[in-house]
Amino acid sequence: MELIFSAALCSVLVSILLKVCKTKGFDALQMIAWNYAIASILCFFWFKPDLAHISIEKTPWWLIATLGVVLPTIFLLLTKSLETAGIIKTEMAQRLSVVLSLSAAYFLFHEQFSQLKIIGIALGIVAVLMIIFPKSGSGSGSSSQSAKAMLYLLCVWAGYALVDILLKYTTSLGLQFAVSLNLMFIFAFVLTIGYLSVTKTKWNTANILAGFSLGVLNFANIALYVKAHMLLKDSPAIVFAGMNILVVLFGVVAGLMIFKEKLNMATAFGLTLGIAGVICLAKAI
């Protein structure tokens, strides 16, 4: 359980770091770019992918390139969501993206669904609707801010599901997890740095250092989660449920205690339904 706890903590620390740095005027895209630089290096030394024997012809480069574009884009949208919707709702939307990826597994990969899995997905969808569509604000400024928050939450929800679906499709083509992860980190770094160079961004050492910290936390989250699955290979439900529930709970604690966010009735009810949905999905594994 220590690995699951640590992985969940790293996941929430990523969001906390992004939110704090954004409020202090850091360039989120620069941070995201250097995050992928350090993550790709750590991935190479930790997972030891066999990059030397990659088949140039058989490797789905278009898919790796797509993930290289999607990953930093979703990370940037995550930053926007943290800024407008807050850490509580953003973490819930991110974790409940699993209901979309599982639905895709049914329609795209023809995975068999049990009644419990269907209940879990239904609860998750209702939970997402509860947290994404709040009551309208009283003024036009409040309405505009709420609309932006809803848009970014929807993007985070759909975006993380898209990444999960693309990763599953990549591995179904025979590309190993470690290889695909390392390649997409490298692509994400190269493409993001290329974009920043073309737009003549003013480089800042503070952004680079913050990006390195982000990369360490981001990679630690992935590495610890994978390690937990390896050690508890006979109990994947524990890892799945533990990770998702702990991230949401840590996000709630961070939102309430660090950023003084308010937990209204709709969000609290959505949180309860979301956790119930995760438990149902875990029992269906």
Q: How many domains does the chain have?
A: 1
User: Which one, of 49, 75, 50, lies nearest residue 221 by Cα?
Assistant: 75
CB 267 within 8 A of CB 131: yes
| 10-29 residue pLDDT tens | 999 999 999 999 999 999 99
| 78-116 residue pLDDT tens | 999 999 999 999 999 999 999 988 888 777 767 777 899
CA distance 26 to 83: 13
In order, the DSSP letters of 40-106 are HHHHHHHH---GGG--TTTS-HHHHHHHHHHHHHHHHHHHHHHHHT-HHHHHHHHHTTHHHHHHHHH
Write down the pLDDT at residue 206. 96
Burial state string for 38-53 with b = 16 or more CB within 10 A and e = fewer than 16: bbbbbbbebbebeeee
User: At a CB cut-off of 8 Å and minimum separation 6, what does 35 contact?
Assistant: 75, 211, 212, 214, 215, 218
Residue 228 has pLDDT above 70, yes or no: yes
In order, the DSSP letters of 252-265 are HHHHHHTS-----H
Q: Which domain holds residue 95?
A: 2-284
Write down the pLDDT at residue 138. 45
Write down the pLDDT at residue 163. 93
Write down the pLDDT at residue 51. 87
CA distance 285 to 111: 12
CA distance 117 to 271: 18
User: Which one, of 29, 52, 6, 66, lies nearest residue 243 by Cα?
Assistant: 6
| 51-83 residue pLDDT tens | 888 888 888 899 999 999 999 999 999 999 999
